[in-house]
Amino acid sequence: MELIRPGTKYDFIGKKKFTIWVSTIAILLSLGSIFLHNGLKYGVDFAGGILIQIRFSQVVDISEVRKAMEAMGSKDAMVQNFGGENEFLIRVEKTGEDLEEMSKKIQASIQERFKGKTLEIRRVEVVGPKVGKDLKTKALWAVGLSFAAILVFVAWRFKQVSFGLGGIAALVHDIIITYGAISIAGLEYSLPLMAVILTIIGFSINDTIVIFDRVRENIKKMRKENLETIFNTSINETLGRTILTTATLMMVVLILFFFGGPVIHDFAFALIVGLISGTYSTIYVASPVVLLWNKHFTQKKKR
């Protein structure tokens, strides 16, 4: 079966003047949303605090749970519906008080308030602010250092710094877009979403290298052509693969999104965004960066 007819020649790179604007606007929107919301909305995992998930077996209105929280003097507690009708998340942002004590108090007062109803405390998370901060800084360092490693390795494998830079530029682009989508959708940045970011990093660099690899091969074959033509040819030659791979993965992620349940829902949403961005960025971020770099810094080297 053929998805893409051989000899297909879309002028991908020629559209770069247009797509640069697309990328710029997307990045500005993402950063803008993050800034407007005063940074990402960190969940308990990162910000520290208390999260309690309860499920009642009878009908309970959310306002009743809110009242219970107010009655015990916990004004900072946020209550929201989760999954089913009678399931709620109670969240307390980090406070100066002893979190462990406070979580005990909340659980006790909920039990007291809804004495007649059967309820189940399904999840309790108490994260000290130190742990969350630790996780954040360590993760940031780990990602930063892995980027540096990718930069060095790719630059070495492809014998040009520009390829390493292109790959990293695409990664940064994808991360910003995904964070932007998380921020615009008003999702809470928690551990599973951090896992998504890591997944997207892996996917994006994989996708970029596949095309770079074809470019490297074609540079040897098409000695007379300029780099821009070589990139275009390479992208077209691997187009079948790009579409197949992305479509297959997209299918998986869409299923997770629709049928994965509330726990996986946000996770799948961010993956969808990252998948699209990761595929796009190979063609419209990584490749133009290589081209621009070579045009401005390695012009004298004639290939």
For residue 121, the minimal CB distance to another protein (Å) is 7
Kindly report the backbone phi and psi dihedral angles of residue 82, in degrees, each rounded to the nearest multiple of 5, phi listed first.
Answer: -140, 125
**Count, residues near another protein per rule CB under 8 A:** 71
Strands (E) across the chain are located at 49-56, 78-81, 87-93, 119-127
**Can residue 244 be called a binding residue for another protein (CB under 8 A)?**
yes
**Can residue 32 be called a binding residue for another protein (CB under 8 A)?**
no
Residue position matching structure tokens 């007649």: 116
End-to-end CA distance of the chain: 36
Site for another protein in 148-187 (CB under 8 A): 149-150, 153-154, 157, 167
Question: Using the rule CB under 8 A, which residue among 138, 226, 297, 303 binds another protein?
Answer: 138
Closest CB to another protein among 174 and 237?
Answer: 237
Site for another protein in 65-124 (CB under 8 A): 100, 103-104, 120-124
The tokens describing 101, both together, are 């004590």
Q: Is residue 20 within 8 Å of residue 288, measured between CB atoms?
A: yes
Kindly report the backbone phi and psi dihedral angles of residue 132, in degrees, each rounded to the nearest multiple of 5, phi listed first.
Answer: -60, -45
Question: Using the rule CB under 8 A, which residue among 93, 213, 225, 228 binds another protein?
Answer: 213
> How far is 245 from 251, CA to CA, in rounded Å?
10
> How far is 33 from 46, CA to CA, in rounded Å?
19
**Can residue 36 be called a binding residue for another protein (CB under 8 A)?**
no
Minimal CA–CA distance to 19: which of 297, 287, 294?
287
Question: Using the rule CB under 8 A, which residue among 162, 170, 179, 237 binds another protein?
Answer: 237
**Can residue 192 be called a binding residue for another protein (CB under 8 A)?**
yes
Count Cβ atoms within 10 A of the Cβ of residue 170 and give its class: 0-12 exposed, 13-18 middle, 19 or more buried: buried
**Can residue 142 be called a binding residue for another protein (CB under 8 A)?**
yes
> How far is 49 from 99, CA to CA, in rounded Å?
7
Question: Using the rule CB under 8 A, which residue among 26, 27, 72, 210 binds another protein?
Answer: 210
Question: Using the rule CB under 8 A, which residue among 22, 195, 226, 295 binds another protein?
Answer: 195
For the window 276-295, what string marks contact with another protein as x by the rule CB under 8 A?
A: --------------------
Kindly report the backbone phi and psi dihedral angles of residue 193, in degrees, each rounded to the nearest multiple of 5, phi listed first.
Answer: -70, -30
The tokens describing 112, both together, are 């007291």
Piece of the chain touching another protein by CB under 8 A; list 72-80, 88-96, 204-212, 295-303: 204-212
> How far is 243 from 245, CA to CA, in rounded Å?
6
Closest CB to another protein among 85 and 134?
Answer: 134
For residue 279, the minimal CB distance to another protein (Å) is 11
Question: Using the rule CB under 8 A, which residue among 80, 111, 206, 226 binds another protein?
Answer: 206
Question: Using the rule CB under 8 A, which residue among 11, 70, 85, 134 binds another protein?
Answer: 134
**Can residue 133 be called a binding residue for another protein (CB under 8 A)?**
no
For residue 164, the minimal CB distance to another protein (Å) is 10
Closest CB to another protein among 172 and 264?
Answer: 264
Residue position matching structure tokens 């901060």: 133
